[in-house]
Amino acid sequence: MNDLKRRTFFKLGLVGAAMSFIKPSKAAELIEKSTENKFRIARKTIVISTWNHGLAANAEAWKEIDSNGTSLDAVEKGVMVTEADLTNRSVGVGGRPDRDGHVTLDACIMDHKSRCGAVGCLEGIAHPISVAREVMDSTKHVMLVGEGAREFALDYGHGKAKMPIKEVKKDWKKWKKENKDVFKKPEINHENHDTIGMLALDAHGNLSGACTTSGWAYKLHGRVGDSPIIGAGLFVDNEIGAACATGLGEAVIRIAGSHTVVELMRQGHHPQQACEMAVERIIRKHEDLTGLQVGFLALDKYGNHGAYSVYEGFNFALKTVRKEEMVDAGFDRKW
Ligand code: SD4
């Protein structure tokens, strides 16, 4: 061993020895403190959610936040507005079906205690987000899928809804005719505003998030996207922040997207920078980016937010005491 190597080895040895005296929780605290110092602002209540439909959803969520309610109730009630909107083709009752004509819904919810619940491939139930919450509140599980999720929802009195609705069924029949033997290539229609992901910080300083979708239109039956997967479509860690995703779910799952964004914030990055780094990672991992739109939205525990997408066109709705507006997210490239 030469001198330099010996000195480095000695130094690392000392650091290692010092770290071993620090309990893991203390070490975590140190990392979090570094985050705190950097971006600390007076904590503010805030709700953010993906796409234009986020405005109406935020308004409903804000009623909870404004009356000193919890961010958990806020995000559930907020995204229920979108689930009930029959003009929305990518969330809830008005959503488009899979290749075989079934509308299969994905949703998840997570609160400040890291409690979470999810449903995947749920059919015929009006509010998947409330079923996800029910899984969280009333069972020891995190995720129920398919027929089991539906039976559970009905057992707990969640309302049914007939899907696809008439106009959507008509579109699907037309699509089927035009795409007889072909299975469409991954295409998330960027004009047909997508999944709703919502993040909220309440007056108690607690973060929650919700995500709900009918997923990728005309997908294979049984396909589940990122939206109901904790860590992919949504992740909340009340010590640090929260994130959610929209776009091509397969790409989000590949990098455990929302968890990645939160972990980047834990490492000291601003929510905006964290979203940008996660999008860059997606870009690095895919040779073919044709049609591959993904957008991330992030909120830290002080109310700082960020958003970024692969392609231009992703926007989000922002609500604070002072503002109610749509904001265009930053992007890596134009279509
Ligand atoms: C999915 N991520 O099922 C969802 C769809 C979506 O914007 O968010 N579209 O892959």
Are 92 and 170 in a shared domain?
A: yes
Please tell me the distance between residue 119's alpha carbon and the centre of ligand 1 in angstroms: 15
10-residue averages of pLDDT along the chain (335 residues)? 42 42 49 52 85 97 97 98 96 95 98 98 98 98 98 98 97 89 57 82 97 94 97 98 97 98 97 98 94 95 97 97 96 95
Provide the angle, in degrees to the nearest 10, between the axes of the packed helices 146-155 and 128-138: 80
Are 12 and 143 in a shared domain?
A: no
What is the C-alpha separation between 318 and 255, in angstroms, rounded?
Answer: 26
| Beta strand segments in the chain, E | 46-50, 105-110, 116-122, 143-145, 196-201, 207-213, 234-237, 241-247, 294-300, 305-311, 315-319, 324-328, 330-333
Ligand 1, residue 225: give the atom nearest the CA: 3
**Cis bond before residue 228 (omega within 30° of 0):** no
**φ, ψ dihedrals at 313, nearest 5°:** 120, -15
Task: Give 149's Cβ-side CA count (13 Å radius).
Answer: 32
Are 11 and 93 in a shared domain?
A: no
Nearest CA to ligand 1 atom 2: 249
Are 94 and 223 in a shared domain?
A: yes
Ligand 1, residue 250: give the atom nearest the CA: 10
Give catalytic residues, as residue numbers.
195
Six token digits for residue 7? 């000195």
Amino acid at 218: Y
**Which range marks the domain in which residue 151 is found?**
43-333
User: What is the chain's alpha carbon radius of gyration, rounded to the nearest angstrom?
Assistant: 21
Residue 83 lies in a domain: yes
Query: Which residues form the pocket of ligand 1, taking CB atoms under 6 Å from any ligand atom?
Result: 90, 188, 194-195, 213, 215-216, 225-227, 246-249
Paired sense of beta strands 234-237 and 116-122, if any? unpaired
Residue 243 sits in a domain of what CATH number?
Answer: 3.60.20.30
- At residue 6, the pLDDT reads 42
Are 186 and 218 in a shared domain?
A: yes
Please tell me the total count of domains within the chain: 2
Nearest CA to ligand 1 atom 6: 247
Are 205 and 93 in a shared domain?
A: yes
Candidate of 226, 254, 315 to mutate for ligand 1, largest count of ligand atoms within 8 Å of Cβ:
226
Ligand 1, residue 247: give the atom nearest the CA: 7
